[in-house]
Amino acid sequence: MPTLEFIRSEIEHMRSQIGRQRKEILQLQRAGISTASAEALLGRMQAKVDDLCDQRDRLLGDETLKGPSYASGKPLKGTPAHRRM
Protein backbone atom coordinates (compact mmCIF):
# COMPACT_ATOMS: atom_id res chain seq x y z
CA MET A 1 0.00 0.00 0.00
CA PRO A 2 1.43 3.41 -0.97
CA THR A 3 2.37 5.83 1.76
CA LEU A 4 0.76 9.21 2.29
CA GLU A 5 3.91 11.04 1.20
CA PHE A 6 4.10 9.02 -2.03
CA ILE A 7 0.48 9.82 -2.86
CA ARG A 8 1.01 13.52 -2.15
CA SER A 9 4.06 13.68 -4.38
CA GLU A 10 2.23 11.79 -7.13
CA ILE A 11 -0.69 14.25 -6.94
CA GLU A 12 1.72 17.18 -7.21
CA HIS A 13 3.51 15.58 -10.16
CA MET A 14 0.26 14.80 -11.99
CA ARG A 15 -1.05 18.34 -11.46
CA SER A 16 2.07 19.80 -13.04
CA GLN A 17 1.66 17.42 -15.98
CA ILE A 18 -1.98 18.50 -16.35
CA GLY A 19 -0.88 22.13 -16.47
CA ARG A 20 1.62 21.36 -19.23
CA GLN A 21 -1.03 19.37 -21.11
CA ARG A 22 -3.46 22.30 -20.94
CA LYS A 23 -0.83 24.64 -22.36
CA GLU A 24 -0.15 22.23 -25.21
CA ILE A 25 -3.87 21.98 -25.96
CA LEU A 26 -4.10 25.77 -26.16
CA GLN A 27 -1.16 25.84 -28.59
CA LEU A 28 -2.80 23.18 -30.75
CA GLN A 29 -6.10 25.07 -30.75
CA ARG A 30 -4.34 28.28 -31.80
CA ALA A 31 -2.73 26.36 -34.66
CA GLY A 32 -6.13 25.02 -35.72
CA ILE A 33 -5.28 21.38 -34.96
CA SER A 34 -7.86 18.99 -33.54
CA THR A 35 -7.49 18.52 -29.79
CA ALA A 36 -10.08 15.79 -29.14
CA SER A 37 -7.54 13.09 -28.25
CA ALA A 38 -5.50 15.50 -26.10
CA GLU A 39 -8.64 16.55 -24.23
CA ALA A 40 -9.55 12.89 -23.66
CA LEU A 41 -6.07 12.30 -22.21
CA LEU A 42 -6.50 15.36 -20.01
CA GLY A 43 -9.79 13.96 -18.70
CA ARG A 44 -8.13 10.64 -17.84
CA MET A 45 -5.30 12.43 -16.08
CA GLN A 46 -7.76 14.49 -14.05
CA ALA A 47 -9.69 11.33 -13.10
CA LYS A 48 -6.42 9.75 -11.90
CA VAL A 49 -5.70 12.81 -9.74
CA ASP A 50 -9.21 12.64 -8.30
CA ASP A 51 -8.66 8.96 -7.43
CA LEU A 52 -5.34 9.79 -5.78
CA CYS A 53 -7.02 12.58 -3.77
CA ASP A 54 -9.67 10.12 -2.57
CA GLN A 55 -6.95 7.66 -1.60
CA ARG A 56 -5.07 10.43 0.24
CA ASP A 57 -8.21 11.44 2.11
CA ARG A 58 -8.83 7.84 3.18
CA LEU A 59 -5.27 7.58 4.49
CA LEU A 60 -5.64 10.88 6.33
CA GLY A 61 -8.84 9.58 7.91
CA ASP A 62 -6.99 6.47 9.07
CA GLU A 63 -4.23 8.60 10.56
CA THR A 64 -6.65 10.77 12.53
CA LEU A 65 -7.96 7.63 14.21
CA LYS A 66 -4.45 6.94 15.52
CA GLY A 67 -4.62 9.91 17.87
CA PRO A 68 -3.30 13.46 18.09
CA SER A 69 -0.11 14.36 16.27
CA TYR A 70 2.09 17.29 15.30
CA ALA A 71 1.73 18.87 11.86
CA SER A 72 4.72 16.78 10.76
CA GLY A 73 2.73 13.63 11.53
CA LYS A 74 4.80 12.74 14.56
CA PRO A 75 2.53 11.55 17.39
CA LEU A 76 2.08 13.66 20.52
CA LYS A 77 3.52 12.08 23.64
CA GLY A 78 2.83 13.63 27.00
CA THR A 79 1.85 17.22 27.69
CA PRO A 80 2.45 19.76 24.89
CA ALA A 81 5.21 22.29 25.59
CA HIS A 82 2.85 25.28 25.70
CA ARG A 83 0.85 23.66 28.55
CA ARG A 84 3.79 22.66 30.78
CA MET A 85 4.41 24.58 33.97
CA dist 42 and 40 (Å) reads 5
Closest to 28 (Cα-Cα) out of 49, 42, 13: 42
10-residue stretch averages of pLDDT, the chain, 85 residues long:
89 96 95 95 95 90 67 74 73
pTM of the model: 0.68
